[in-house]
Structure 1
Amino acid sequence: MLSSDDLLFFGTITASASLADAARQLNVSPPAVTQRLKAIEQRIGVRLIDRSMRGLVLTDEGELVAAEGAAIIDAIERLDDRLERRSTSVRGKLRIAAPYGFGRDYVGPVVGEFARLHPEATVTLELSDHPATLSSDSWDLVIHIGALNTVGRIVTTLAPNHRIACASPSYIAEHPSIIEPDDLQQHRCLALRENNEDVTLWRFTKAKCDPATVRIKPVMATNDGAVMRNWALAGLGVIVRSEWDLAGDIAAGRLVRILPDWQCPDADVVALLGARHGRSRRATVFLELMRASLHPVPWREAGRGT
C-alpha cells in the first residue's frame, strides 16, 4: 500500500535528473533517498525505477505510479485548497521560487513575515538562476523579473522596474563620451547572463527617434548580478541592470546613468501562478504581503531618500 507521502516522494524523484538531485530537493542525503525507494519497492513487490547510464528510467510500473500518483496528489491538494478557502486560517504547503538577488533582498524577508503570521503553514523558498523555467506543478508562486512566455500561467504584476545603463564616475572620466547608443560599441561592456536572454543585444528607445539596438562585445560576463554590479562600481565597464539593484548606487553617485534620454526595456517584477495554485488562500495571502512590501516601490523611495 502506498501512502500520499510515498506518492509525493516518488513524484519528486520522477521530476529530478538523478537520485542525488532528488535528495537536494528533499533536503536529505542521497543514501536516504535510495533506502526509502528500495523500501517502497519491497513493500509493493515491484521495481519502479531502473538505474542506467542514461540516469533514472521508470519501469512500466513506475510510469503507472507516477501518473496515477500525480492525479491522486492533485486531487488531495485541490480538496485541501477548497477546505482552506472555507477557513479563516492559512495553512498547508506554500512553495515559492525567485531569482537569487531579488529573492534574497525582497522575497526572503516577506517569506519570514508570512511564516511568523501564519504558523500553521509551511513554506519553501528556492532561489534560482532561471525561476520562470521551473515546472508550474512544483511551485505555487514563481517571482520573475522581466518579459517571459506566460502560456498556461496566470501572471500578476507586483512592482514596476526599469533597466538602466550606467557606469562608475571613474570609468566615465577615463573614457570617451557616450552620446548615442552606437557609441557603446567602442566601450568596455559587461554582460549579465540570465533568463536565457540574448544578453549581447542591448535595446534602447527615445521619444521621436527610431529604436536603437547595439550588439555589444562583452569584455566580462557573469550570471551573478551582484558580481556584475561590483565590477561596475570598480570602474571596469558599462552595465545594463535592473533599477531595483542600482537605485541606491545611482542616488549616492557611486554609479552614473548614461544615455539618460534613452530608455532600456522595462523589466517589471511579476508573480506567476498555476491556474489551480493561484486560487489557494495561502498563495493569495502571500501575494498580498509581497505586494504590500513593494508599495511604495522601495528602490524608488530609497533613491529619493539618499
Structure 2
Amino acid sequence: MTDSGDIRFLMTIRDSGSLTAASRKLGLSPSAVTQRLQLLERKLSMRLVDRTARKLLFTEEGQLLCERGGNLVQQFDALFDDLRERSGELVGTLRINAPFGFGRRYISPVIADFQQQNPEVSIMLSLSDRPLTETIDRFDVVVHIGGLQASNLIGHALAPNARFVCASPSFIKRFGNPATPDELMKVPCIVLPENNEDVSLWNFSKGKISRSVRVSSKLSCNDGDVIRRWACEGRGAILRSEWDVADDLRSGRLIRLLPTWKTSDANVIALTHSRTGLPARTRHFMAFLRDSFKPTPEWRS
C-alpha cells in the first residue's frame, strides 16, 4: 500500500456493515465500492471480506488489517494533527457517544460550542440508552454516568453526581413519607433500565448500616425524562441522578425521600481508549468538556 487510504476504505466497510451503507458514507456507487475492494484484494493477493447476500464476514486477514492498520492510521492522523496544531489549527473528526438525556441537555451544547470555535473539526454525536453496549471502538470519547466495570478504557472525571429517591407531593400525600428504605417495598416505584443494571434493587447506606430493597415497579421506561415526568405526576417514586431532578427538587415538583440515607453516587466520566497519544482534537475537546463543568456543575449551582 502506498498510503492509508486503503485501510480507511476497509475500515469504512467494516463500520458500515454493508457495501451499500459504505457507498453512502464514501459518496460512491455500490459497484464502485465493490470494484475498489476487489482491486485491494488483488493487490494483496488475499481475500479480505466474504460477501454474502445478507452480510459481510471479514476474514482473519481482513480483521487483522483493520485492527493493526487502524492503529497505524490513528498514529498517522495524530502525527499530522500535532503538526497542524503547532500552527494553531485543529482538524479531523470526533466521534462521541453519550446517554440520551444527559447528552441532550449537557453534552450537545458543549459539542456545538467546541465545533464553532474549531470549524475544521467535524463532530458526530451518537446518543444511546446503553452507551457501553455500543461498539466502543467506533468512538473517540464515551460519556458515562455511574460505576464502571473492569474495562480497558481510560476514565476521566468530569463532574460529581449523586442519586436521590424522589416523589411528588401528591404521591407523599397519598402514600406517606417513608421513614426507612424497607417502606419503599410497599409503594409503587418507577424504574429506568440502563447499563444492564438490576434496576429494581435499590441500595442504601447510613453510616455503617447498609440496606438493599427490591422495589415493586409496574412502570418502567428506558428514557429518563419519561420516568421523571411520571414521578412529577405522582405515579411512583424514582431513584434518579441529581443532574436530572435538581430543577424539580428546587421547584417543589419533586421531594427527596429518605434524605438521611445515601444511595450510590453516579459520577460523570469520559472514557477514551488511551491516556496518551490521543489526537490533538480529542485532547482539546476533553479539556473543553472538563471546563464546562467547572467550578461546579450546573445541577449544583
Residue of structure 1 equivalent to 2:252: 253
Residue of structure 2 equivalent to 1:43: 39
Change (3 A) 1:279 1:42: closer
User: Would the aligned equivalents of 1:48 and 1:59 in 2 still touch at CA under 8 Å?
Assistant: yes
Residue of structure 1 equivalent to 2:55: 55
Q: Report the Cα distance in structure 2 between the residues aligned to 1:282 and 1:94, rounded to whole angstroms.
A: 7
Q: CA deviation at 1:288?
A: 2.2
Q: CA deviation at 1:277?
A: 6.6
Q: Which runs of 5+ in 1 are unaligned?
A: 302-306
Is residue 219 of structure 1 aligned with residue 215 of structure 2? no
Residue of structure 2 equivalent to 1:282: 281
Question: Over the residues paired in the alignment, what is the CA RMSD in angstroms?
Answer: 2.8
Residue of structure 2 equivalent to 1:241: 240
Residue of structure 2 equivalent to 1:293: 292
Q: TM-score, normalised by structure 2?
A: 0.87
Amino acid in the other structure paired with 1:104: R
Amino acid in the other structure paired with 1:125: L
Q: Report the Cα distance in structure 1 between the residues aligned to 2:84 and 2:266, rounded to whole angstroms.
A: 34
Q: Work out the number of aligned pairs and report it.
A: 296
Amino acid in the other structure paired with 2:238: I
After superposition, residues 56-205 of structure 1 pair within 5 angstroms as 56-59=56-59, 62-63=62-63, 65-67=65-67, 69-84=69-84, 86-205=86-205
Q: TM-score, normalised by structure 1?
A: 0.85
Change (3 A) 1:156 1:276: closer
Change (3 A) 1:164 1:35: farther
Q: CA deviation at 1:231?
A: 1.0
Residue of structure 2 equivalent to 1:304: none
The percentage of aligned residue pairs carrying the same residue is 41
Change (3 A) 1:222 1:271: same
User: Would the aligned equivalents of 1:97 and 1:126 in 2 still touch at CA under 8 Å?
Assistant: yes
Amino acid in the other structure paired with 1:152: N
Amino acid in the other structure paired with 1:186: K
Change (3 A) 1:35 1:248: farther
Change (3 A) 1:165 1:64: closer
Q: Report the Cα distance in structure 1 between the residues aligned to 2:215 and 2:99, rounded to whole angstroms.
A: 25
Amino acid in the other structure paired with 2:34: K
Amino acid in the other structure paired with 1:280: P
Find the residue that maps to 2:172 and give its secondary structure.
helix
Moved more, 230-239 or 53-62: 53-62
Change (3 A) 1:278 1:144: farther
Find the residue that maps to 1:262 and give its secondary structure.
coil
Amino acid in the other structure paired with 2:209: D
Q: CA deviation at 1:42?
A: 3.6
Q: Report the Cα distance in structure 2 between the residues aligned to 1:144 and 1:238, rounded to whole angstroms.
A: 24
Q: CA deviation at 1:139?
A: 2.0
Change (3 A) 1:232 1:53: farther
Q: Report the Cα distance in structure 2 between the residues aligned to 1:98 and 1:79, rounded to whole angstroms.
A: 27
Amino acid in the other structure paired with 1:158: L
Q: CA deviation at 1:88?
A: 2.9
Find the residue that maps to 1:218 and give its secondary structure.
strand
Q: CA deviation at 1:294?
A: 1.4
Q: Report the Cα distance in structure 2 between the residues aligned to 1:269 and 1:278, rounded to whole angstroms.
A: 23
